[in-house]
Structure 1
Amino acid sequence: MHFASLLPRRALEAAAGAVIAVAAFLAVLLPLQVGAAVDELARATLAAGGSVDVTLTIELPVADDVDVQDAAVRRAIDSTLGADGVGVALDVSRTGPDDGLLRWTIAPRADEISAAALEAVPAAWRRMRSALVDSGADVSQVAFSGSLVPTALTVTRQSDALRGAAPIALAVAGMIALVAVNEIARLLATRGARRSALLWSRGARVTRLVGDATLPSAVAVVVGAAVGALTGAAVAGRLPLDAAGWAAVAGAIAVVPIAVALIAGHAFAGVRRLERPDTAESPRARRAVRVVAVALLVALAGFTSWQLLLFGASPLSAEAARTNPAILLAPAAALAALSIVALLLVSLLRSPIDRAVDRRASWFSAVWTRGAFRRGAVSVTPLLLCALAVGQLIVVAGYGGSWTARYDAVASARWGTEVRMDAGGRGIDADDLAAAGALDEVTRVAPIRTTEQSLAAQSVSVLAVTAPAVAELADAPAELRRGWADIIAPRTPPGWPVAGGAMIDVALSGDGATPGTTVSAFLGNADGLVVEVGGTSAGSEATVALIAPADAGGWRLFAIDISPPATGDERGAPTVEVEVSANGERLDPAGWVVASPFSEPYPIDTGRDARLEAAILDGAPSVRFLAGPDAGPLPVVVTTAFLDATGLTLGDRFSLTLWGLDTTAVEIAAVTPAIPGADNAVAVMIDAWAPVVGSLAWSDDAPSPTAAWIGPAGAPASTAAALRRVVPEGVRIDGTAVDPARDILAAAPVAMWWGAGAAAFLALLGTAAVSLAGRAAETAEADALRRIGLDQRRRRAARAAERFAVVAVGVVVGLMAGAVVVALLVPSLARGAAPSEALGLAAPVVDTIALAWSAVSFLGALALVVAVVAWREPRAPGPGSRS
């Protein structure tokens, strides 16, 4: 058999079926995979939230009949959120009466929740008040609290962005499949023209001719769609098919009528040419149709891209959690429009290339350059397919890298570290911190203190953390977090260094040092963990021995409380003198201050005696000696949003009021897009020693930490599991390394890579089919080159150069189009990974490893296809060849 008959009609029909099989496979696989990931996201979010983020509390004054009131509230809950409402499986518990109030806590069951049910929670909550009224409850003083609704809105926005990955991936693969099927349909009509002419000459009608040309191809298309759909369901693990599986299969089967219509349309056009050979479509009309089609595509790309840049892939509004479906067409439409416009510009180079070839008068240049740009669909189709496939690989690499980078940036800003303890704002007590630090899976515990205050009519989040904790535990690039640590570190750490396990001797003297005087020492480690150790004196001139807790990094002694026993007698203002030694070395009290409940802190005049001395004011329970603060403003790190909100700039100074202290002067020393662990975008990072030491000058205790950053000894997941066993209910264990949503949301880039892989395969299949089937047109040219004496090697080289020139132009066009889409649209798409008003759009991040691997694979396969096509010489089919 001659090479020209390598692709007879049956092979073209098989190629059409294969294209449809790949399209159907993708159309079933991606929705099922993404749908499963969306449900898993809902369950994982609720399971990770525990009793912190996923409850809704209804608070009402106690009624006369508590049982009737309880029944009314439960009916309202059931009619909105429960079985008679949106169908969320709930656990409802009642507490109280407490202060004359009853509280109903509603917690969805994480193991039974679905994404659809969780997404319906906000709407059901908005109906809750009216449902309570309908149930007979008095809602005049009703109060709602809890984070169930905000959590549901966040999951809804993330689910929406996740669902959007499937149509985005399908759009480009669908376009490539459409181009390939359309060209295969044209080739089928061309191959069947001789048979159609024979039947027409024998009197066959148009319906018979179209049916004869279409029916075998339709069978191949139907079989391909069925095989592809079932294979997609099997890969997704959804056999036997459930309701969602049947819905996906039904959607995939929609490609069948489109393919059959294209095949029938080309067959009908061929029959019409037989009936009316003198009414062929004019070139001007074809050109006008193409111009209109390109204009419509460019308009669609412009509109959808504008919508995407304006609104993003996932709305940020808490009330609107739905994506405009038109936005999902933006990447595919933009890629197609850019590729086609670039191809039109390339076509304008035909005349300059011809003139350049004429001047060089080289047979080789004349053969391959004119052949590359003058073979119509045989050249244009592979060029367009390669451009779309390469462009999609670049877009997906940018999407995957940007999606992951966006989520990691938002997660870092939210949690701040790999593993974190969070009590939801109520504060973590010392026992919980000690229990965490005693675990073998934990290397360090860094308390984090956050507070909100108003500055320039803006709510500012202040995060207090020590420099070593930032340098080692913050979830940020090493260079960045070490730079933060260098900035906020105090010039002189407060207090005296004390080794872990050291003996601290506090010698008391003076008329205020009576028997039974209590001595308390406050020590802090490098991570900001504060402990208090105490003892009682046995006599008037006694030494109280204290032992510092074991800590490899050591401690700093920064405050000492002296509390004489209450006598009931007026004491006047007795004086107490304190001499402190650690392991026999006397500690210098220079720079310390005295803090009393009845006076402002004042410095100690130590003179020539290295002692702490102060008067205990009448009625005061104690006197406190405290390390003095650093002189000058404290350096702080602020966010870009802070500067935008306050109008301040780098180097400016302002004042903060920290945990009830007097105002503290600070200076902006660095600016960063986000501060890890801050509560909002307008945030300030300050060294933790300032609020800890400063608060002890005005209050009894240091401020309780609102969270704690944990240093894992091994795998973060193991550390998190160990922490969950020891922390009390209501303390949440989270962090960037133990976030279940991160891996689940990775289903979006995975879906995009499935689509890009299918698009590349379809491009290869279409290029091979079109190139091989179109070789019959090269027969006359090959014979002419043979007659003028060119040997087979040079003829093969010319054919290879022609084919490689076509695909090379397509690859270059795809590179440029993909780069433009990545730069303009991918950042807005990636924002859907973690909707956040705190972080704006970031520069796209390209997954270079995945891109390199996929590009090498595609280009290698493409080179193989081109080499196969160029290897064998086209010859006219023999008398017995089938067409």
Structure 2
Amino acid sequence: MHFASLLPRRALEAAAGAVIAVAAFLAVLLPLQVSAAVDDLARATVAAGGTVDVTLTIELPVDDPAGAQDAAVRSAIDSSLGADGAGVVLDVSRTEPDAGFARWTIAPRADVVTAADLEAVPAAWRRMRPALVDAGVDASQVAFSGSLVPTALTVTRQSDALRGAAPIALAAAATVAFVAVNEIARLLAIRGARRSALLWSRGARLRRLIGDATLPSAVAVVLGAAVGAVTGAAVAGRLPLDAAGWAVAAGATAVVPVALALIAGHAFAGVRRLERPDTAESPRSRRALRVVAVSLLVALAGFTSWQLLLFGTSPLSTDAARTNPAILLAPAASLAAVSIVAILLVSQLGSPVDRVVGRRVTWFSAVWLRGAFRRGAVSITPLLLCALAVGQLVVVAGYGASWTARYDAVAAARWGTEVRMDAGSGDLDAEVLAAAGSLEEVSRVAPIRTTGQSLAAQSVSVLAVTAPAVAELAEAPAEERRRWAEVIAPEVLPGWAVAAGAAVELSLSGSGATPGTTVSVVFGNADGVVVRVGGTDDVGGGTVTLAAPPGATEWRLVAIDVASTPPADERGAPTVAVEVNANGERLDPAGWLVASPFSEPYPLDTGRDSGLEAAILDGAPFVRFLAGTDADPLPVVVTTAFLDATGLSLGERFSLTLWGLDTTAVEVAAVTPAIPGADSAVAVMIDAWAPILGALAWNDDTPSPSVAWVGSAGAPASTAAALRSIVPEGVRVDGTAVDPARDILAAAPLAMWWGAGAAALLALLGTAAVSLAGRDADAAEADALRLIGLGPRLRRAARGAERVAVVAVGLVVGMLAGVVVLALLVPSLARGAAPSESLGLAPPVVDAVAGGASAAAFVAALALVLAIVVWREPRAPRPGSRS
């Protein structure tokens, strides 16, 4: 009795065609979807970058004639990066000479740029200087600036990781398809054994017999591949196919010769047994072959995993992923290796089961226990298929969540908030901040000041932001934001509280209060916005009335500058005194400092009831009265990487130089994995009032921010659109909530889910085919089971228990294998979502909802297949029936 005799050959051929159709569908769909996403990523990056991130500027001394120099520079640009070189469509503009230099700004066209264009930018940039020389330009003083090259490198790395998702998913599905087709081919060979024997007895030879066994299956395989490829192109929205689509479809046809080779190989083995029955393969040789095959698979998994952990799918040197595509096989090879090794260990349970059965067990248990571990491929193949399918679902559930978490972490470190304004190397002045704050779509505007420090031979990023801005705008969980805000918030805010729009009266006196004396008052609000308001004393010794800025609920008056021209006959340093009245009361100057140019800040003598009073030093343009700060060390939040790099610990103190000439003592008060907006793993967060007052103590003005976090009164997209309508050229509006690349990069997890879904479907097809073929063993045992007293219901239950045991073992093995691959490889795979030199690998994150739902759906479908197989009583073929 042959195992496949009860399953019609046409059903097996249809199963082979269905498996090939699914494989071809996936082989066409994923490359087309991913390639479209890669080009969308390039276009979105260029469109969002504006004049900040995607330009390259060439600066040269002006040469006569200017027209000839302009033509030479444009020729060099065309020959290296433009139409005559890399072929990138560019917009090139020349600005008028400034201080003897002319500038050419180069930007790719956002509407036509492709990923291949950006990938060509770094090499073309390296050729640009020689091209300038060849064009006759004096390149000895040429200077390049702009972020086009680093942006192109980042997009290239992301594109590599995005492209890698397709072969990773295909490799996993192909592994399942290979196992299913191989088993179906074996069953086809068994099914056709009688026909081959009959033809052989009538004189047919090897070629005829193999052709007779393979040709009917070839029709089903070719038809399945064609249907799958066309369906994949239709789902991808690429019908009719273009040149790239035809290339992908041609590559997908590789599944046809592989399937036919497997079918022909098994047919050849069967025919050889007819011609040379004395050369049957020995059990020892089969075991040796299995050991060699498993050893090679384990070696492949080890090598590819090592390469993946070493380089990743998007290494900082992108050549690694391109010159060593074998690393894209690592997840599938590792999953298969772990599953097969686990199954080999499970297969050793046969002897223990025999001992248990021999001791004390019912006939019912003996039937299904022995059947589950003694049926060879009929048991092992469904077990392996279920293990691979479930393992892939576990891996993908972790891959999708880890990919998204990685991108969000890098985006939060880079931008820090949902919406922000970024002036690049420029500054955001008070007018831009005020215009942004006046928009209805904006709830608050918080300038962010960042600087670099060198501490313990480490480069440290310092981010200064106010506590209210952190609590509301930082891209982090709410509890974490509030904790940071509580840590950095000063116990007492500096300066005097003044209501928005309130009148501030400054009464001047002293020998330095001459006609024409100018007074400037520096206000700051809770978000760190600094505004300077000024006025003039026309009479000398009079009162200057100023109005606090509008808009904020409360301002803090933190500095007063008094500039005067003393009389020519004045002897000694003229003095000036200021009495300040606001909110209907006289403001107490206790704790204030004098911060004049050419001298260190010193505290005021407030022992007598006087106003702010100080001498204007000889040659100093003004005298500054400045609100004092707490003398205790400032509490700061640091990253874990900062502690690792510096050797400090929680509660220890160190010093920072904050935009001034003096050092500031700080204390480590809290530790966090990352600081939003710092764009560095080694970072410190400090309250913004410290650098504001520190700069006013030692410099003429406060440090101008180049970045501002913006709170949205409504949808972040509406806020970003409103900001783009008012910001000047050179200011970019971006943020985590308005980043177009995030949705585009979701194509990688989507491709992996397509692959996992296809693997699950292929596992179901293979399990159904093998289980139906395995019913022959049930038919052969039916009479024996009747004789020992097992009725139809018990026989059906025994068959069901046997198959449930096999599938349950497969599910457990698959979950364990998936967890191993998830823990070892997924962090390296997810790193490709957002390559970053500063942020290392993060532990994997699992989408439990998606993973659990997909696994439950697979188990439900598997239970339905097993129920259909088990329900009907198998019957042996009647004598004389055609096999």
- TM-score (norm. length: structure 2): 0.97
Q: For residue 416 of structure 2, what is the aligned residue in structure 1?
A: 416
- Partner SS state of residue 650, structure 1: coil
**Aligned-pair CA distance for 1:632:** 2.1
Given the superposition, is the C-alpha separation of residues 320 and 255 from structure 1 closer, same or farther in structure 2, using an over 3 Å criterion?
A: closer
Q: Distance in 2 between matches of 1:550 and 1:871?
A: 80
Greater shift after overlay, 676-685 or 830-839?
Answer: 676-685
Q: Distance in 2 between matches of 1:603 and 1:205?
A: 109
Q: For residue 88 of structure 1, what is the aligned residue in structure 2?
A: 88
> 2:500 aligned with 1:500, yes or no?
yes
**Aligned-pair CA distance for 1:515:** 4.5
Q: For residue 174 of structure 2, what is the aligned residue in structure 1?
A: 174
Q: Distance in 1 between matches of 2:704 and 2:424?
A: 13
Q: For residue 391 of structure 2, what is the aligned residue in structure 1?
A: 391
Query: Residues 186 and 266 of structure 1 are in contact (CA less than 8 Å); yes or no, is this contact kept in structure 2?
Result: yes
Greater shift after overlay, 156-165 or 122-131?
Answer: 122-131
> 2:579 aligned with 1:596, yes or no?
no
**Aligned-pair CA distance for 1:481:** 2.2
Query: Residues 153 and 321 of structure 1 are in contact (CA less than 8 Å); yes or no, is this contact kept in structure 2?
Result: no
**Aligned-pair CA distance for 1:321:** 7.1
**Aligned-pair CA distance for 1:486:** 1.9
- Partner SS state of residue 85, structure 1: coil
> 2:750 aligned with 1:765, yes or no?
no
Given the superposition, is the C-alpha separation of residues 569 and 363 from structure 1 closer, same or farther in structure 2, using an over 3 Å criterion?
A: farther
Q: For residue 717 of structure 1, what is the aligned residue in structure 2?
A: 717
Q: For residue 638 of structure 1, what is the aligned residue in structure 2?
A: 638
Matches within 5 A, 1:148-227: 148-227=148-227
- Partner SS state of residue 697, structure 1: helix
> 2:440 aligned with 1:452, yes or no?
no
Query: Residues 156 and 321 of structure 1 are in contact (CA less than 8 Å); yes or no, is this contact kept in structure 2?
Result: no
Q: For residue 260 of structure 2, what is the aligned residue in structure 1?
A: 260
Matches within 5 A, 1:422-437: 422-437=422-437
Q: Distance in 1 between matches of 2:784 and 2:485?
A: 77
Greater shift after overlay, 764-773 or 19-28?
Answer: 764-773
Q: Distance in 1 between matches of 2:371 and 2:779?
A: 13
Query: Residues 398 and 822 of structure 1 are in contact (CA less than 8 Å); yes or no, is this contact kept in structure 2?
Result: yes
Query: Residues 578 and 613 of structure 1 are in contact (CA less than 8 Å); yes or no, is this contact kept in structure 2?
Result: yes
Q: For residue 32 of structure 1, what is the aligned residue in structure 2?
A: 32
Q: Distance in 1 between matches of 2:521 and 2:736?
A: 36
Query: Residues 508 and 576 of structure 1 are in contact (CA less than 8 Å); yes or no, is this contact kept in structure 2?
Result: yes
Given the superposition, is the C-alpha separation of residues 376 and 83 from structure 1 closer, same or farther in structure 2, using an over 3 Å criterion?
A: same
Q: Distance in 2 between matches of 1:76 and 1:177?
A: 52
Given the superposition, is the C-alpha separation of residues 5 and 347 from structure 1 closer, same or farther in structure 2, using an over 3 Å criterion?
A: closer
> 2:813 aligned with 1:813, yes or no?
yes
Q: Distance in 2 between matches of 1:290 and 1:306?
A: 24
Unaligned runs of 5+ in 1: none
Q: For residue 126 of structure 2, what is the aligned residue in structure 1?
A: 126
**Aligned-pair CA distance for 1:289:** 0.5
Q: For residue 116 of structure 1, what is the aligned residue in structure 2?
A: 116
Query: Residues 499 and 551 of structure 1 are in contact (CA less than 8 Å); yes or no, is this contact kept in structure 2?
Result: no
1:85-108 Cα deviation digits (max 9, x unpaired): 111001111223322222221111
Greater shift after overlay, 455-464 or 215-224?
Answer: 455-464
1:410-468 Cα deviation digits (max 9, x unpaired): 11111111111111121111111111111111100000111223334443322111111
Q: Distance in 1 between matches of 2:848 and 2:402?
A: 11
Greater shift after overlay, 12-21 or 513-522?
Answer: 513-522
Query: Residues 511 and 566 of structure 2 are in contact (CA less than 8 Å); yes or no, is this contact kept in structure 1?
Result: no
**Aligned-pair CA distance for 1:640:** 3.4
1:138-173 Cα deviation digits (max 9, x unpaired): 222222111111111111000000000001001110
Query: Residues 522 and 557 of structure 2 are in contact (CA less than 8 Å); yes or no, is this contact kept in structure 1?
Result: yes
- Partner SS state of residue 140, structure 1: helix
**Aligned-pair CA distance for 1:733:** 0.8
Quick one: percent identity of the two aligned structures? 81
Matches within 5 A, 1:35-50: 35-50=35-50
- Partner SS state of residue 659, structure 1: coil
Q: Distance in 2 between matches of 1:424 and 1:625?
A: 33
1:210-234 Cα deviation digits (max 9, x unpaired): 1111101000000000000010001
Q: For residue 55 of structure 2, what is the aligned residue in structure 1?
A: 55
**Aligned-pair CA distance for 1:5:** 7.3
Query: Residues 650 and 670 of structure 1 are in contact (CA less than 8 Å); yes or no, is this contact kept in structure 2?
Result: yes
- Partner SS state of residue 7, structure 1: coil
Q: Distance in 1 between matches of 2:626 and 2:664?
A: 17
**Aligned-pair CA distance for 1:498:** 2.0
Q: Distance in 1 between matches of 2:661 and 2:684?
A: 17
Matches within 5 A, 1:469-548: 469-537=469-537, 539-540=539-540, 542-548=542-548
Q: For residue 74 of structure 2, what is the aligned residue in structure 1?
A: 74
1:244-285 Cα deviation digits (max 9, x unpaired): 111110111000001011111111111111112222111111
Given the superposition, is the C-alpha separation of residues 41 and 674 from structure 1 closer, same or farther in structure 2, using an over 3 Å criterion?
A: same
Amino acid across the alignment from 1:642: F
Q: Distance in 1 between matches of 2:810 and 2:37?
A: 35
Query: Residues 94 and 103 of structure 2 are in contact (CA less than 8 Å); yes or no, is this contact kept in structure 1?
Result: yes
Query: Residues 681 and 838 of structure 2 are in contact (CA less than 8 Å); yes or no, is this contact kept in structure 1?
Result: yes
**Aligned-pair CA distance for 1:516:** 4.3
Given the superposition, is the C-alpha separation of residues 637 and 749 from structure 1 closer, same or farther in structure 2, using an over 3 Å criterion?
A: same
> 2:309 aligned with 1:309, yes or no?
yes
- Partner SS state of residue 476, structure 1: coil
**Aligned-pair CA distance for 1:879:** 5.2
Greater shift after overlay, 321-330 or 424-433?
Answer: 321-330
Given the superposition, is the C-alpha separation of residues 240 and 410 from structure 1 closer, same or farther in structure 2, using an over 3 Å criterion?
A: same
Greater shift after overlay, 127-136 or 437-446?
Answer: 127-136
Matches within 5 A, 1:284-303: 284-303=284-303
Greater shift after overlay, 763-772 or 595-604?
Answer: 595-604
Cα RMSD (Å) of the superposition?
A: 1.9
**Aligned-pair CA distance for 1:331:** 0.6
**Aligned-pair CA distance for 1:574:** 3.5
Q: Distance in 1 between matches of 2:132 and 2:618?
A: 57
Query: Residues 313 and 323 of structure 1 are in contact (CA less than 8 Å); yes or no, is this contact kept in structure 2?
Result: no
Query: Residues 572 and 617 of structure 1 are in contact (CA less than 8 Å); yes or no, is this contact kept in structure 2?
Result: no
Q: For residue 863 of structure 1, what is the aligned residue in structure 2?
A: 863
**Aligned-pair CA distance for 1:567:** 5.3
Given the superposition, is the C-alpha separation of residues 490 and 244 from structure 1 closer, same or farther in structure 2, using an over 3 Å criterion?
A: same
Query: Residues 571 and 618 of structure 1 are in contact (CA less than 8 Å); yes or no, is this contact kept in structure 2?
Result: no
Q: Distance in 2 between matches of 1:186 and 1:310?
A: 40
Q: For residue 238 of structure 1, what is the aligned residue in structure 2?
A: 238
Greater shift after overlay, 16-25 or 106-115?
Answer: 106-115
Matches within 5 A, 1:659-808: 659-808=659-808
Given the superposition, is the C-alpha separation of residues 585 and 450 from structure 1 closer, same or farther in structure 2, using an over 3 Å criterion?
A: same
**Aligned-pair CA distance for 1:73:** 1.7
Q: For residue 844 of structure 1, what is the aligned residue in structure 2?
A: 844
**Aligned-pair CA distance for 1:58:** 1.6
Q: Distance in 2 between matches of 1:414 and 1:500?
A: 33
Greater shift after overlay, 636-645 or 232-241?
Answer: 636-645
Q: Distance in 1 between matches of 2:693 and 2:231?
A: 66
Q: Distance in 1 between matches of 2:466 and 2:367?
A: 73
Greater shift after overlay, 188-197 or 508-517?
Answer: 508-517
Given the superposition, is the C-alpha separation of residues 357 and 284 from structure 1 closer, same or farther in structure 2, using an over 3 Å criterion?
A: same
- TM-score (norm. length: structure 1): 0.97
Q: Distance in 1 between matches of 2:835 and 2:760?
A: 31
Q: Distance in 1 between matches of 2:750 and 2:319?
A: 29
1:94-133 Cα deviation digits (max 9, x unpaired): 2233222222211111111111111011111111122222
- Partner SS state of residue 296, structure 1: helix
Query: Residues 315 and 835 of structure 1 are in contact (CA less than 8 Å); yes or no, is this contact kept in structure 2?
Result: yes
- Partner SS state of residue 140, structure 2: coil
Query: Residues 315 and 322 of structure 1 are in contact (CA less than 8 Å); yes or no, is this contact kept in structure 2?
Result: no
Query: Residues 6 and 877 of structure 2 are in contact (CA less than 8 Å); yes or no, is this contact kept in structure 1?
Result: no
Query: Residues 520 and 535 of structure 1 are in contact (CA less than 8 Å); yes or no, is this contact kept in structure 2?
Result: yes
Given the superposition, is the C-alpha separation of residues 37 and 323 from structure 1 closer, same or farther in structure 2, using an over 3 Å criterion?
A: farther
- Partner SS state of residue 601, structure 2: strand
Q: For residue 357 of structure 1, what is the aligned residue in structure 2?
A: 357
Q: For residue 9 of structure 2, what is the aligned residue in structure 1?
A: 9
Q: Distance in 1 between matches of 2:466 and 2:809?
A: 57
Given the superposition, is the C-alpha separation of residues 71 and 552 from structure 1 closer, same or farther in structure 2, using an over 3 Å criterion?
A: closer
Amino acid across the alignment from 1:158: Q
Query: Residues 595 and 626 of structure 2 are in contact (CA less than 8 Å); yes or no, is this contact kept in structure 1?
Result: yes
- Partner SS state of residue 600, structure 1: coil
Given the superposition, is the C-alpha separation of residues 857 and 321 from structure 1 closer, same or farther in structure 2, using an over 3 Å criterion?
A: closer
Unaligned runs of 5+ in 2: none
**Aligned-pair CA distance for 1:569:** 5.3
